[in-house]
Structure 1
Amino acid sequence: MPADDQFDLDTAVDALYARPLDEFIAARDAAVRQATDNGDRLGAARVKRLRKPSVAAWVINQVAREHPDEIGALATLGDELRAATQDRDRARIRALDHLRRERTDALVRAVRESGEVGGRSVSSAVLDRMTETLTAAVMDPDAAAVVRAGRLSRALQHVGFGIVDEEGEEAELVELRPATSEAGGPEDAGEPEGEGRPRATGRSKAAVAPKAAASNRTGRSKPKEAPTADETDPAEADLVAAEHAVEETSARVDVLEARRDEIRERLRAADEVIERGEDEVERLDRELERLTAERDAASEALDDARETANEARTDLEALEDELDDAVERAAEARRRRREARGR
């Protein structure tokens, strides 16, 4: 097939993942027809198997297109982390892991503040999936390739020694097309068209294929297998096994140190909350003491005022009785005066 046809198909697939999510199925079918019309039956079959992305995967694909520099920086950071891990440079690992969190948080925060991607609102659950996927892109070069290509069908998670999708299933990170062998022919030669063997992702040709494509494929770059006894001597086989063990244990150390740093960060944040809480409790205790003293003083003043009011009320009642008597005596005196004048 002419190279231009392959490029056209690849361009169509890029456009497929860039479209609004609701248009994915129709655009995929159009790409299949295009490949078929160009005589690329194998490419058409592979495109046909591409799954419609989840909402989280679609959002991440659009973010990768809108922020290629930030995604590329995270992928480069992953390369540096792996180099530091191989060198067992723990100080460098800690610094790079801190930088990873900063860059990931910054990108997620930008999306959160925007509130939408491509006109679609972004939920907190999608932001969590985005954080997990960006972390996976740092930790795994194949995941980084797929994220940079913007061709995810499911968000990713890095767990221990592998990558799983947002459903907890082992992720398949594969190329859209088979790579060529050293002899120049396709490595899938001899396989039926439309059922090509998936390979580890490339930097710009990556896509996530459905799990139904093959049940025994992880899609990640497979670790180099130890030579058989027929190919090498026992000493070399022991060396290969030892190197493999070093890689695995170093990776485990990296994972545990990252978890330790995360727990330390949680502890630091909790300590800050505790310190602020204790300060606030002390302030409120002081305020409560002041208000209690004011309340007691006001209560005492109220009691005094009530006692004064009671005394005044008693005095008023006595005075009113005395006044009534005086009024009656005055009236009697006026009556006697009138009688005396009438005589």
Structure 2
Amino acid sequence: MSPKTPRGADAPVGDGTDVDALVDGLFALPLEQFVVARTAAAKEVKASGDAVGAERVARLAKPTVAAWVVNQVARERPDDVAALVALGDELRDATADRDRTRIKTLDRLRRERVERVVAELRDAGEVAGRAVSATALDRLAETLTAAVMDPDAGALVRAGRLSQALQHVGFGIVDEGGEPADVVELRARTGGTGGGPGDADPGTSTRRGGRGARSARVSDPADGEPPEEDAVAAAEREVEETAAEVDRFEAERDEADTRARAASDAVGQVEDELGRVEDELARLADEREDLRARLADARAAESAAQETLTAADELLDAAEERAAAARKARRTARRG
């Protein structure tokens, strides 16, 4: 027996230091404490005699704000995250069965569950005592969707040890920078598994992205295993093709939904403006009728005044004629 047997990530080392527990504790800390605590943890593991484990801890990347939010959600709401990951398994089964009705139903359920978690955090305004920005909430929604669509991403999200938020795109999983995320390798680095902490097999073949990089396994006769039947390989290829088709249509659907929402918003704005104009037109119509009525009254008053003026002119003319006649009669009387 060799003097020192290699240990798995879950096994305590040296004086009983549990590397996996230390790693899990690091990702549970407030974000601003991560770097200092990581350095202290690496020293503790190295002092216990596990140089490999110490290097593993020292190389852990500090989470982005969005990744930290996802990690805390995974810890505070494990049932919600587990339900989303399980929903992903159902979606993959439905896809393998080409059950379009069930795929549509499950996809709608996936959207509703993700939106509910995000909405509740938005209402709370914080997670683990830290305010949550709109950008972080968008990243959370994208990461939870990735956890549904990719089983390895789902296991990593459930472990709560992300260093970057994830996003599911047509060809697989990418990180916040848009680079393909090797989620199998990430699981091996952080020790994430579907049910909680633990290491993935370092010998597991990795893949950059999602379903598109996975191929049917063909056994080598030299290793003593019989080759798989062609029907299995064909079925696996069919699963990959239909899964890629679902991904493509989902992306197109999301894009169409975005355009539809934008168009709906534009319609709403125009309708509001039209309503304002119609209200103004109604007000002006009422004002016009009022002015017309007042104009009619004014014209009637003008006509009556004109008639009064004409009558007054006639009376004045008659009075002036009588006055002239009276003056004439007075002059005649004075001369006589």
Deviations 1:113-149 (A, max 9, x none): 1112223222211111111100000011111111111
Q: Is the 8 A contact 2:180 2:209 kept in 1?
A: no
| Residue in structure 1 matched with residue 152 of structure 2 by the alignment | 142
| Residue in structure 1 matched with residue 85 of structure 2 by the alignment | 75
Q: Write the distance in 1 (CA, Å) between the matches of 2:261 and 2:177.
A: 30
Following TM superposition, by how much is the alpha carbon of 1:237 offset from its aligned partner in structure 2, in angstroms? 7.4
- Indicate whether 1:294 and 2:286 are aligned: yes
Q: Is the 8 A contact 2:72 2:127 kept in 1?
A: yes
Deviations 1:247-291 (A, max 9, x none): 221111221342355456557757866886787688667645543
| Residue in structure 1 matched with residue 238 of structure 2 by the alignment | 246
- Indicate whether 1:205 and 2:213 are aligned: no
Distance 1:241 1:201, change over 3 A: farther
Q: Is the 8 A contact 2:74 2:81 kept in 1?
A: yes
Q: Write the distance in 2 (CA, Å) between the matches of 1:171 and 1:177.
A: 11
What SS does the aligned partner of 1:157 have? Answer: strand
What SS does the aligned partner of 1:300 have? Answer: helix
Q: Write the distance in 2 (CA, Å) between the matches of 1:38 and 1:224.
A: 43
Q: Is the 8 A contact 2:20 2:198 kept in 1?
A: no
What SS does the aligned partner of 2:168 have? Answer: strand
Q: Choose from 141, 161, 168 the match for 1:158.
A: 168
Q: Is the 8 A contact 1:175 1:205 kept in 2?
A: no
What SS does the aligned partner of 2:62 have? Answer: coil
| Residue in structure 2 matched with residue 4 of structure 1 by the alignment | 12
Q: Choose from 33, 37, 45 the match for 1:23.
A: 33
- The one-letter amino acid paired with 1:205 is P
Following TM superposition, by how much is the alpha carbon of 1:32 offset from its aligned partner in structure 2, in angstroms? 0.4
Following TM superposition, by how much is the alpha carbon of 1:9 offset from its aligned partner in structure 2, in angstroms? 1.7
Distance 1:313 1:53, change over 3 A: farther
- The one-letter amino acid paired with 2:11 is A
| Residue correspondence of structure 1 range 1-343 to structure 2 within 5 A | 3-5=11-13, 8-174=18-184, 201-203=192-194, 204-205=196-197, 218=208, 223-227=215-219, 238-239=230-231, 241-259=233-251, 261-262=253-254, 265=257, 287=279, 290-304=282-296, 307=299
Following TM superposition, by how much is the alpha carbon of 1:313 offset from its aligned partner in structure 2, in angstroms? 8.9
Q: Is the 8 A contact 2:191 2:197 kept in 1?
A: no
Q: Is the 8 A contact 2:156 2:187 kept in 1?
A: no
Q: Is the 8 A contact 1:157 1:166 kept in 2?
A: yes
RMSD (Å), alpha carbons: 4.3
What are structure 2's unaligned runs of at least 5 residues?
A: 1-6, 201-205, 316-336
What SS does the aligned partner of 1:242 have? Answer: helix
Task: Give the paired residue count.
Answer: 298
Distance 1:225 1:15, change over 3 A: same
Q: Is the 8 A contact 2:24 2:197 kept in 1?
A: no
- The one-letter amino acid paired with 1:3 is A
Deviations 1:42-89 (A, max 9, x none): 111111111111110011111111111100100110111111111111
Q: Is the 8 A contact 1:171 1:218 kept in 2?
A: yes
Q: Is the 8 A contact 1:175 1:201 kept in 2?
A: no
TM-score with structure 1 length normalisation? 0.71
TM-score with structure 2 length normalisation? 0.72
Following TM superposition, by how much is the alpha carbon of 1:295 offset from its aligned partner in structure 2, in angstroms? 2.2
Q: Write the distance in 1 (CA, Å) between the matches of 2:216 and 2:266.
A: 50
What are structure 1's unaligned runs of at least 5 residues?
A: 179-197, 209-215, 323-343
Q: Write the distance in 2 (CA, Å) between the matches of 1:100 and 1:37.
A: 46
Q: Write the distance in 2 (CA, Å) between the matches of 1:10 and 1:222.
A: 29
- The one-letter amino acid paired with 1:303 is L
- The one-letter amino acid paired with 1:164 is V
Q: Write the distance in 2 (CA, Å) between the matches of 1:49 and 1:77.
A: 33
- The one-letter amino acid paired with 2:12 is D
What SS does the aligned partner of 1:298 have? Answer: helix
Q: Is the 8 A contact 2:167 2:173 kept in 1?
A: yes
What SS does the aligned partner of 1:152 have? Answer: coil
